Structure 1
Amino acid sequence: MSENIRVMVVDDNQLLRFGLLGAIDMEPGLEAAGDASSSEEAVELYQKMKPDIVTMDYRMPGEDGVACTEKIMAIDPDAKVILFSVFESEEEVWKAVQAGVKGYLTKSASAVEDVMEAIHEVAEGYSFFPASIARKISARKQQEELTPRELELLQMLGQGTSNKELVEYFNISMSTVKHHITNIREKLGAADRTQAVVIAYKKGILKLDEE
């Protein structure tokens, strides 16, 4: 029986997928254990191959890598997933950590050597989060969660909605609207509503395509 670390690669980009598979097969102690281009394929392949490590693309057609990780973790709570992304906003990283990933690497900043190191580290039971990612995780842990209502209201603030319009939309009093905005500001560490929106975009809580 092989003692190599068996790695499954999930990425919708065929060139990147094959490139990583080749690098894995050339790395001492590692071997490729199949590849998938979508969440659906990945879940099915995981059940069949039972790999030691999964490298997971964040953005894929249909379900993203976070949703796929959640499904794999539901099948096997001991699964070890390393997520790769072109995104590194605090909120994107936090969602991945909440899903159960053991490592997070940015595609733009990661060399092949970093990927191989991450695979070996995670296979040995450690987590692998570069310093820039670890700082985002630490900052997000210290932030009090926004409630669903506060998040919805924040999204509307990001669209330039006035307090009066918020009163009418939510059918609540002006004092309640102001109370929600105060809570949002305090949780985000913002001086005013405008800064709260700026911080929310910076952290990835709000996205430009939501406007």
Structure 2
Amino acid sequence: MIRLILVDDHPVVRHGLRGMLEAEPDLAVVGEASSGPEGVAVAAELRPDIVLMDLRMPGGDGVEATARILATVPGVRVLVLTTYETDRDILRAIEAGAGGYLLKDASPAELADAVRAAARGETVLSPSVASTLVRQVRSPAPPALSARETEVLRLVGQGLTNADIGRALFITEATVKTHLLRAFTKLDVADRTAAVTRAMGLGLI
């Protein structure tokens, strides 16, 4: 028998999941929680095989709860079950140690099969999530700006001129230009506006 706990802030969702899972002869829902911290406490008390974890809940982030559960409950596997499939959500969950990432539009059969696969130690990803991870792996890493280049671009983004930036950082205007030109090269852009836009898009400033 595979023992599960459900962590989701919506009682209706937990009720529906319990009904779907307990219709399977080899699955048993042994506990529920409505927040990340409560999920950590319930997992520590009941020591389940699988935790089905929502990501975004009032009073506690599912990613943080996942990391804490995996650090404190030996042998447990956490499956994220959420409506969110943004790149950031997926990567944070996987980096925290989640053994799978499923969307709430999964069918009852898909969910039950995913739980069994996770219990066997397999990684379970919905097709769209798997595609996102492949795209992330194939994408080139963002350019590495130096601390000073980042600082200069941040000030450019605030509307400061090269002379203003020089005074703010106690460097010459020529040095500001040098930092900007290096940043342009790394970001593969030709002007200040494009540099700031690209750096912001990459999360560098």
Q: TM-score range by the shorter chain?
A: 0.7 to 0.9
Residue 87 of structure 1 deviates from its aligned partner by 1.6
What is the identity, as a one-letter code, of the residue corresponding to 1:75? T
1:128 and 2:131 matched: no
Residue 71 of structure 1 deviates from its aligned partner by 0.8
Query: What is the TM-score normalised by the length of structure 1?
Result: 0.73
- Tell me what 1:102 maps to: 99
On the 8 A contact 1:163/1:177 being kept in 2, the answer is no
Residue 72 of structure 1 deviates from its aligned partner by 0.9
Relative to 1, partners in 2 of residues 1:195 and 1:72: Cα closer, same or farther, differing over 3 Å? same
What is the identity, as a one-letter code, of the residue corresponding to 1:176? H
For 1:155-166, list aligned pairs within 5 A: 161-162=158-159, 164=161
Alpha-carbon deviations, 1:28-72, whole Å to 9, x = none? 200002000011111111111000000000100122111110111
On the 8 A contact 2:77/2:98 being kept in 1, the answer is yes
Relative to 1, partners in 2 of residues 1:136 and 1:48: Cα closer, same or farther, differing over 3 Å? same
- Tell me what 1:196 maps to: 198
Alpha-carbon deviations, 1:139-171, whole Å to 9, x = none? 223442676988xx6xx87xx645748947983
Q: Within 1, Cα distance between the matches of 2:183 and 2:145?
A: 11
1:54 and 2:51 matched: yes
What is the identity, as a one-letter code, of the residue corresponding to 2:198? A
- Tell me what 1:189 maps to: none
Q: Within 1, Cα distance between the matches of 2:12 and 2:145?
A: 39
Which residues of structure 2 form unaligned runs of 5+? Answer: 189-193
On the 8 A contact 1:167/1:177 being kept in 2, the answer is no
Query: What is the TM-score normalised by the length of structure 2?
Result: 0.75
On the 8 A contact 1:11/1:17 being kept in 2, the answer is yes
- Tell me what 1:175 maps to: 178
* Candidates 106, 113, 116, aligned match of 2:109: 113
- Tell me what 1:87 maps to: 84
Residue 196 of structure 1 deviates from its aligned partner by 3.5
On the 8 A contact 1:164/1:174 being kept in 2, the answer is no
Residue 91 of structure 1 deviates from its aligned partner by 1.9
Which residues of structure 1 form unaligned runs of 5+? Answer: 187-191, 207-211
RMSD: 3.3
1:88 aligns to what SS in structure 2?
A: coil
Q: Within 1, Cα distance between the matches of 2:35 and 2:167?
A: 38
Identity, % of aligned positions? 28
1:27 aligns to what SS in structure 2?
A: coil
What is the identity, as a one-letter code, of the residue corresponding to 1:74? A
